[in-house]
Amino acid sequence: MKLFSRRDFSATMGKGITATALLGGTSLACANSTKQDKKKLGIALVGLGSYSTYQLAPSLQDTEHCYLAGIVTGTPEKEKVWQDKYDIPSKNIYNYENFDTIAKNDAIDIVYVVLPNSMHADFSIRAAGAGKHVICEKPMAISVEECDAIIKACKEAGVKLSVGYRMQSDPYTKEVKKYVAEKTFGDVHFVSSDAGYISRGNPNQWRLNKKLSGGGALMNMGVYSIQTSIYGCGSNPSSVSAQEFSTRPEYFKETDETITAQFEFPTGAVAHMMTSHNANGNRLKSHCSKGWFELEPAHSYGPISGRTSNGNVISFPHKRQQALQMDDFAKHILLGTPNVAPGEMGKRDMIIVEAIYRSIAEGGKKQMLDLGNMGIVP
């Protein structure tokens, strides 16, 4: 298994990938005690790009069972900015070279890997080796082989593993699952799921670099379409066929621009998904024997919005999905509650991703999926 190294990433960054702007603002010392609260778990964010900066770190100010305890960054100038803003002790600040010494730090319980996809396996395995519980941002890795390696490392180290599937903790997702399980609108016959946006940014960004990303839209937004197709139906698919489309080959030189796929399910239901880096999509709709239900927007940071065929509006108070997600994992560790996004779920989705790419390579040929033994509840 060849892993993409931090040195390779730094070299690529030097060729034109722009770094995320540094944080501003005042200190949040009151929100983060330097003395570990034994009722809360300390999280260290590995990688301080836009997702950590604008979603995870702010969300960790709203969590009840965990808090921002440390950071790992390859950009020295970010260290002081984050330290001042979040009152992070110097001993809890690491770089990519001394990362493994985090094993000696009892203030850090969980390592959240928020790096380019090709680096997920390396740092997740190293975090497990350091005796830390692991949250690996989605997609879990760039291959099923790497997913297996992460799962194996965590099991051997006796640590818990979760994938950064924020939507699994969102109340709208839970409501959809309830509709399906209780057959509120009858049996699900057809599911439609779209997840995409129009990319017009830096053509040298890591998401357009296949060596770093492992793929394009499918490895990014496509994971949401796969997930909503599954929980919008209530079972894992038994087969998939897929197609790829490109209208801007000069921009998407290495990675997929738009992909559509069709799933068949053991229940007899079918689903159609679309994912794109060149078309907007943010919807889930399940057509059932006695009506329908939909979410639109379905995958964004919120607020989400939903409605049903009986005229009801699906509505919940807005909470940061990332805060709910990280609290769910912390509760799993502290209280033994279910792991809503285990590593096996990330592996399942990567099995499907590989099958979609294989179908495209074979001209849309149907690929059979053997997911019955995965033990993953949709």
Residue 357 among the catalytic residues:
no
Please indicate whether residue 138 is annotated as part of the active site: yes
β partners of residue 367: 240
Q: Pick the catalytic residue from 86, 94, 224, 357.
A: 224
Gap between the Cα atoms of 353 and 359, Å rounded: 10
Catalogue the long-range contacts made by 333-337 (C-beta closer than 8 Å, 24 or more residues apart): 333/41, 333/109, 333/110, 333/133, 333/160, 334/39, 334/41, 334/65
Contact 233, 180 (CB under 8 A): yes
**b/e map 77-101, b = 16+ CB within 10 Å:** ebbebbbebbbbeeebbbebeebee
Considering the candidates 40, 85, 132, 138, report the single residue annotated as catalytic. 138
Q: Is the peptide bond before 297 cis (omega within 30 degrees of 0)?
A: yes
**CA-based torsion, 119, 125, 130, 132: positive or negative:** positive
Do residues 118 and 213 make contact, with C-beta atoms less than 8 angstroms apart? yes
Task: Decide if 254 contacts 214 (C-beta within 8 A).
Answer: no
Sign of CA dihedral 136, 142, 148, 149: negative
Who's near 159: CB < 8 A, 6+ residues apart?
127, 128, 131, 132, 133, 134
C-alpha–C-alpha distance, residues 311 and 75, integer Å: 51
| Two tokens, residue 286 | 């399940």
Q: Which two tokens stand for residue 235?
A: 């079972």
Catalytic residue set: 138, 224
